[in-house]
Chains A and B, each alone.
Chain A
Amino acid sequence: MRRTSRIIRIRRSPDHRVTTPRTRAAARAAAALAAGVLAVSLTACGGGDDDGDDNDKGGGTGDTGTTVTLPKLDGESLEVAAVWTGAEQANFKKVLAEFEKRTGAKVTFVPAQDPIINFLGSKVAGGAPPDVAMLPQPGAIKQAVEKGWVTPLGAEATKELAENYSQGWQDIGKVDGKQYGVYYKAANKSLIWYNTKVFEDAGAAEPKTWDELLTAAQTVYDSGVTPFSVGGADGWTLTDWFENVYLSQAGPEKYDRLARHEIKWTDPSVKEALTTLAGIWGKKDYVAGGASGALQTEFPASVTQTFTGGGQPKAGMVYEGDFVQVNIAETEAEVGTDAKVFPFPAVGDAPPVVSGGDAAVILKDSEAAQALATFLASPDAAGIQAKLGGYLSPNRNVPNSAYPNDVQRKMAKALIDAGDDFRFDMSDQAPQAFGGTPGKGEWKALQDFLKNPEDVAGTQAKLEADAAAAYGN
């Protein structure tokens, strides 16, 4: 399931404990409706005035500091659908505004809901798909291609992409050799965040290997703080845990094969990864609130409880991607001083780099849609949003200095440095029914495993049964 935006969405609510993804989905649906109505009325009565304004500005900024040439698109209008809300949406709209300035086209943001592929399905069925949509999973892009909803990128966009993206990031936007997606946004999901005060009190150091992580955890535990906070009510945090351990332990090749379900979940490598994981999940008092408490802790709360309470928080460390900082911002802790981050330690030979991201795909082919895809593939667009924070770009030509703080720069650097060695989130590559549905498939199996970490074989059997049903093999 996609998570970057979902997470960032959560920060809007003053009390995240109660704002489940489900309620947000409902709220978003309403918002989408309202925005849709608004969009219609705007396009209907927004006159040539706006266009004139845009033209003037476009002439002004178009000349300064641009690396990409865009066509003049006066009078054209575009719709872009994405599930982003809150600050993430606001920041993205600034990027769209820049596009409007440079081209004179009018871009409307259409708030979508998770899973966006189903949202698009109903839009396509209704005969009015947005021009461009942000799809989070490679699986979703493939699905959209198979259904004939999306068109390939044109020469301009492909060229821009080749200039700025490593081969690996280009390839995950391809289906059957054709380039369909521009990965505009990336997530680094191989990070462990910790409460600096807890580590200082305990005298623990940032670990580089799994064994050191266990030592650090024990030290934290000995000092009287529960080492880990796990947001087990959201199944995807658990699949991310598993993916990091598995990628590092079993290696990228097996990771890819498991992601395609070419090896079974009953494979010994899965057993090893689950057993390793049980070394933390199954240890008494290692997880805040115990297993049943963790299973009722939603992701945002798992972060905030790690960074509230001074030297006595509910837990010392929390695992998740770069988007954790958004939730830290809700607490009084400062990212970089009170809250620090270290890369997920190496379980096997090399530390894992698991990533996620959102790719722009074109649903209605037009010059304007192609131009927008080109723009999104350029460092200009990514540079704007990078400055605003809470965003990582897989675009290697975005200067590291564009990011607003050290933690951001560290995460961006790790992501770019990984080159093509990163692996895309496995559950995002799996069919929705297995890797992305609350209370089903991998989410549910790992939640049950968190509750009963001794049952490795039973968990494997359940994972395999669900995977076989979802992959249809």
Chain B
Amino acid sequence: MASDTAAGASKTAPAAPTSRRSVTGTRRTVAALFLLPALLLLGALVVYPIGYSVIRSFYDQSGDGFAGVDNYRALFTDDGIRTALKNNVIWVVFAPTVATALGLVFAVLTERVRWGTAFKLVVFMPMAISMLAAGIIFRLVYDQDPDKGVANAVWVGVHDTFAQSSAFPKAHPGRESPLEPAGGGAFITKGTVSAGDTVTLPLVGVAPDLMPDDAEPAAAPKPEGDRITGTAWQDFTRGKGVGTLNEVDASELGYARMRIEAVKDGEVVETAEAGGDGTFSLSPKADGAHLRLPASNFAAPYNGLDWLGPSLVTPAVIGSYIWMWAGFAMVLIAAGLAGMPRELLEAARVDGANEWQVFRRVTVPLLAPVLAVVTVTLMINVLKVFDLVFIIAPGSSQDDANVLALELYRKGFSEDQPGIASAIAVLLLLLVIPVMWFNVRRLRREVRR
């Protein structure tokens, strides 16, 4: 077997110099001399820091007292570290698989289009951007304000095609208003109206610049026989406050197209819509009813998703990671695809397999080694993810987006807890080792093949 011969070779290799030592006498020293620079560098830059971290993780905050396993106990009791652990699991499960899956799809599809190379170039491009720059880009993409964040701009755009927002989102009754909140955002008159009445429905809170274009200066209600007439308007004059309280002043604007409902015993008996000057009129049927301004008048504009809020921040950051690394997966998989024997695909097609079956039963199994390498490489990469989370998550949700590498940094450099930080580093090392081991074994087998 391959492994036997390899092991045999490695066993005999050191034996040879031993046997020859007596002849030349210098072989071993020469070998040591050649290895020395590499060993020194490795020792100073890799082995020593690892060893020191391990030792440091058993000491307390100041580094003077031996702390035993206290720092490791903190790994499982500290809330911040537990969130970080949980998020790391989410990262390791989703980020590499989704990135690899997307990479596979891109690789297979670009093989079939004429401009495949150009497409690959575009998908691979994010890899040329540093994590830091990508983080800054995505901090903007996920911005809450739809005018800045493209994610919310798209989301709000889609939402608003189906549900319109109203013209008066912030309108509300001012001081000593005849209106009171009716729950759910609606407002209702405190008293009832009777036939022949004129009513005023003053509201405040809409800036003149934001009034609908067809709003005209408000007109005081005029009695119209038996009918109930009224005015709904913005009882606020620029620079003068409310002017005459609860009365129509010259420069105040009517609430054009405000809907008014007459409600009797909980049932709507009549509805009306205000004109440009805010006046409306109801038939005597509304006698004895309360007038209600339904909540639909005041629906706040949809503000999109809270991408960087506590619940969505981790998926959002993973999204940005995938944007960066799907291209990397694609390029590696495409290389594997290029080396795949075409006859097998042809044979499958000749045997009557459709494209999906060819992909599922031939391409994917043949690519399995490459897919595994890509996934595992990404897993190692994901375990140490730091910059994206550090930059994209705003301070208020950094705790919810926390990952081990970030927590390590925070514990070590901003909370001055080097002991715990070292313990996290050791934990990260332990987590990476099995994946590394798998990768190394895999590589070795590949080489031997």
A residues with CB within 8 A of B: 15, 17-23, 26, 114-115, 117-118, 121, 200-203, 219, 221-225, 232-235, 285, 289-290, 292-293, 295-296, 298, 311-312, 432-433, 436-440, 443-444, 447
Contacts and interface: CB of A to CB of B under 8 A. Distances in A.
6 contacts: A203-B241, A222-B174, A222-B205, A295-B397, A433-B416, A440-B80
A440 B83 CA distance: 13
Contacts of B384: none
A223 B204 contact: yes
A289 B308 CA distance: 14
A443 B80 CA distance: 14
B413 interface: yes
B101 to A, nearest CB: 30
A225 B207 contact: yes
A437 B414 contact: yes
- Chain A CB within 10 Å, residue with most, of B206, B236, B303: B236
A295 B395 CA distance: 8
Nearest to B396: A295
Contact of A17 (B139, B239, B309, B417): B139
Interface of B: 80, 132, 135-136, 139-140, 143-145, 148, 170, 174, 204-210, 236, 238-242, 303, 306, 308-309, 390-391, 394-399, 402, 410, 413-417
A439 B391 contact: no
Contact of B241 (A219, A290, A438): A219
B402 A433 contact: no
Contact of A223 (B132, B135, B140, B207): B207
Given A17-B139, A219-B241, A437-B410, A224 B210 contact: yes
B205 A221 contact: yes
Contacts of B132: 23, 26
A17 B238 contact: no
A152 B176 CA distance: 64
Contact of B390 (A22, A117, A118, A222): A22
B263 to A, nearest CB: 24
A17 B395 contact: no
A21 B208 CA distance: 38
A296 B205 contact: no
A236 to B, nearest CB: 9
B414 A432 contact: yes
Contacts of A289: 144-145, 303
B394 A233 contact: yes
Contacts of B238: 201, 223
B204 A203 contact: no
Nearest to A444: B399
Given A292-B306, A440-B415, 10 more contacts: A20-B139, A117-B416, A233-B396, A235-B395, A293-B144, A295-B394, A438-B414, A439-B399, A440-B410, A444-B399
Contact of A235 (B140, B241, B396, B417): B396
A432 B399 CA distance: 16
B136 to A, nearest CB: 5
Contacts of A15: 140
A-B interface, 7 closest residue pairs, ranked by CB to CB distance from nearest:
A224-B207, A439-B399, A222-B204, A233-B394, A295-B396, A439-B398, A203-B241
A198 to B, nearest CB: 10
Contacts of B391: 20, 22-23
B395 A234 contact: yes
B403 to A, nearest CB: 12
B333 to A, nearest CB: 32
- Chain A CB within 10 Å, residue with most, of B135, B143, B398: B398
A361 B40 CA distance: 40
Nearest to A438: B395
A75 B308 CA distance: 54
Nearest to B63: A125
Contact of B399 (A232, A290, A292, A440): A440
Contacts of B236: 222-224
- Chain A CB within 10 Å, residue with most, of B170, B240, B309, B395: B395
Contacts of B306: 292, 296
B107 to A, nearest CB: 32
Nearest to B243: A203
Contact of A298 (B136, B145, B394): B394
- Chain B CB within 10 Å, residue with most, of A203, A223, A232, A292: A223
B210 A312 contact: yes
B243 to A, nearest CB: 10
A433 B420 CA distance: 14
Contacts of B242: 222
A19 B206 CA distance: 33
Contacts of B209: 311-312
Contacts of A114: 414
Contacts of B390: 22-23
A240 to B, nearest CB: 14
Nearest to A22: B390
Contacts of A233: 394-396
